[in-house]
Amino acid sequence: MNIEIKYDGAKLLLPEIACDCGGTHAQPDMDIYIGKGVIENCAEYIQARVLGKNVVVVTDNIVYDIAGKRVEQLLRTNGYQVTLCKLEREEPLIPNEVGLGEILLTLDDTTDFLVAVGSGSITDLTRYVSYRTGKPFVCVGTAPSMDGYTSVIAPLTLGNLKVNKPADYPRVLICDLAIMAEAPYDMLMAGFGDVVGKYIAKADWTLGHIVNNEPICPACIDIVTQAVEKCIDNIEGIKNRTEAGIQSLIEGLILAGLTILIIGHTRPVASNEHGMAHYWEMMKLLRGEEPASHGISVGVATVYAIRFFEEFLDQPVNTLSLEKVQATRMLKEERDTIILEKYSPRIGEAILRDNPDEYLAWDEQKRRFQIIVDQFEAIRKELDFLPNTSEIIEMYQRVGAPYTAADIGIDTQLLEDALVYAKDYRNRYTVFKSANELGILGDVVNRVLTSR
């Protein structure tokens, strides 16, 4: 399968998905523009969608000077009635109930649509308000920092707790490369980490297909593969913030994000690396510490997940004893207790409630054990696309991204807990589960922690 990505001027032509995987493939109803200086055409792009005349522009005090003000001017000049919702913050903006309230209170009966000017937090707040009020929104993205511009989930914060809410994707997405190239470097590295993490998503999905006959979509696999390759091939350009480099990064993020809309779930873009990053984020918040940004954490977790694959695929699985695995496997009560302890009672209870069938009956574990042992050579071959640890570290060093847990304030205990318990966060099949079901999770984690 080879999906070709094309443009008509600055407009990204969404690929026609002719895939025979048997699943349904939605065609997202969205106009995406990527290019240098495209912000100047924002009114024209919006007019093409006939969204109405009364618009609320949502931005924050920092982005207002960079892009918000220009969007506001252009819309006014083109006959739009603009109400500005500028979220004034001295600290970094948190996408929480306060911001949501400010946006809601700016809307009134005459509001036709919203325009979010910003990156992750601004877009997530706006997409949730858009979804709840039924008013469409447009996004002018200002940093290539995450794959969520096209998302239908808004990761928000309520009190100190992360909540993922259903939300809407923008009708128009405008990515001006000149503005994105000026974003803080750690935002670029966050985007890089979020894209490179797709290696793990692809590997775990492939594994799930082999072990559990899970449906796999070659079109989506092809799209995420292209997304990762674009970034890897343009490391120098990203580092030097060239137009081609920034374009490869935002394109990679958008393409990866689009697969979620096409297939209707996040299997193509998120697996253990996201599970580990979420674990770190939750534990940091519980401790009252500030976690690293999403993509930065995903990027670091990806390095450990790659090392995990490497160690796992190196195991002599044909020497494992099924009887020993059965004799030493954990009881359901033990497992539940550990999840409550390692995730905190509040989050642990939600995990147990949402994944009631996660404790495998012995017959099922035995079946999976046998398939992995029998198919181990085939699995190794299918996962041959994964870079090895030294290659991935070399890439991170070249681009200047953090790659050790210590680099982002994760201590050894939190690293080990993420490697051992990220598998329990959701029911998605991953290599962490494979190792666990073969009774070698602890060994593999130890090897990951002690190798260099």
- The tokens describing 324, both together, are 């020993």
**Beta carbon nearer to Zn ion, 136 or 208:** 208
Which of 130, 137, 72, 69 minimizes the C-alpha distance to 100? 130
Which among 17-25, 115-123, 204-212, 336-344 is the span making contact with Zn ion, rule CB under 5 A?
17-25
DSSP for 114-140, please give it. EEEEESHHHHHHHHHHHHHHT--EEEE
Say if CB 55 and CB 113 are below 8 A apart.
yes
Q: How far is the CB of 164 from Zn ion (least distance, A)?
A: 12
Nearer to Zn ion, 35 or 257 (CB): 257
Tokens of 332: 């359901």
Shortest Å, Cβ 115 to Zn ion: 24
Among the listed ranges 38-46, 59-67, 181-189, 190-198, the one in contact with Zn ion (CB under 5 A) is 190-198
Count CA atoms closer than 13 A to 348's CA, side-chain side.
14
Q: Provide, rounded to whole angstroms, the least separation between the CB of residue 252 and Zn ion.
A: 12
Q: Is 110 exposed, middle or buried (0-12, 13-18, 19+ CB in 10 A)?
A: exposed
- Roughly what angle, to the nearest 10 degrees, separates helices 441-450 and 294-313? 110
Q: Interface mask (CB under 5 A) for Zn ion, residues 74-113, using x and -?
A: ----------------------------------------
Binders in 206-225 for Zn ion, by CB under 5 A: 217, 219
Binding span for Zn ion by CB under 5 A among 19-27, 134-142, 342-350, 434-442: 19-27
Beta-carbon-side half-sphere exposure of residue 181 (alpha carbons within 13 Å): 19
- Yes or no: say if 351 and 341 are a contact pair by the CB < 8 Å rule: no
- CB burial class (10 A; 0-12, 13-18, 19+) of residue 190? buried
Quick one: which of 194, 204, 222, 437 contacts Zn ion (CB under 5 A)? 194
The only residue of 5, 21, 43, 313 in contact with Zn ion, by rule CB under 5 A: 21
**Cβ 29 to Zn ion, closest distance in Å?**
19
When asked if residue 238 is in the footprint of Zn ion (CB under 5 A), the reply is no
- Do 157 and 96 meet the contact criterion of CB atoms below 8 Å apart? yes
**CB 370: neighbour CB atoms within 10 A?**
11
Nearer to Zn ion, 19 or 301 (CB): 19
CB of 85 to Zn ion, least distance (A): 26
| C-alpha span between 8 and 326 (Å, rounded) | 59
Stretch that binds Zn ion, among 7-15, 105-113, 191-199, 368-376 (CB under 5 A): 191-199
CA atoms within 13 A on the CB side of 447: 17
Tell me the CB-side half-sphere exposure of residue 136, using CA atoms within 13 A. 15
> Min. distance of Cβ 241 from Zn ion in angstroms?
22
Among 3, 12, 19, 188, binds Zn ion (CB under 5 A): 19
Piece in contact with Zn ion (CB under 5 A), picked from 12-20, 54-62, 94-102, 168-176: 12-20
Q: How far is the CB of 277 from Zn ion (least distance, A)?
A: 8
Q: Which is nearer to Zn ion, 194 or 251 (CB)?
A: 194
Q: In angstroms, give the least distance from the CB of 27 to Zn ion.
A: 13
Q: Is the dihedral of CA 312, 317, 323, 324 positive or negative?
A: negative
To Zn ion, the closest distance from the beta carbon of 195 in angstroms equals 9
Question: Do 223 and 259 meet the contact criterion of CB atoms below 8 Å apart?
Answer: yes
The contact pattern for Zn ion, residues 421-450, with x = CB under 5 A and - = no contact, is: ------------------------------
Measured from the CB of residue 294, what is the shortest distance to Zn ion in angstroms? 6
Name the burial class of residue 47, with classes exposed (0-12), middle (13-18) and buried (19+) by CB atoms within 10 angstroms of its CB.
middle
Between residues 140 and 219, which has the closer beta carbon with respect to Zn ion? 219
Q: Which is nearer to Zn ion, 219 or 258 (CB)?
A: 219
Q: Which is nearer to Zn ion, 222 or 311 (CB)?
A: 222
Number of residues that bind Zn ion (CB under 5 A): 5
Q: What's the closest the beta carbon of residue 399 comes to Zn ion, in angstroms?
A: 17
Distance (Å, rounded) from C-alpha 280 to C-alpha 414? 7
Q: Which one, of 302, 304, 183, lies nearest residue 238 by Cα?
A: 183
Instruction: Kindly indicate which of the ranges 21-29, 281-289, 325-333, 368-376 contains the residues binding Zn ion, using the contact rule CB under 5 A.
Output: 21-29
Nearer to Zn ion, 295 or 439 (CB): 295
At 112, the amino acid letter reads D
- Rounded to 5 degrees, φ, ψ at 393 are -65, -40
Part of the chain binding Zn ion (CB under 5 A), chosen from 18-26, 49-57, 169-177, 336-344: 18-26
Binding interface with Zn ion (CB under 5 A)? 19, 21, 194, 217, 219
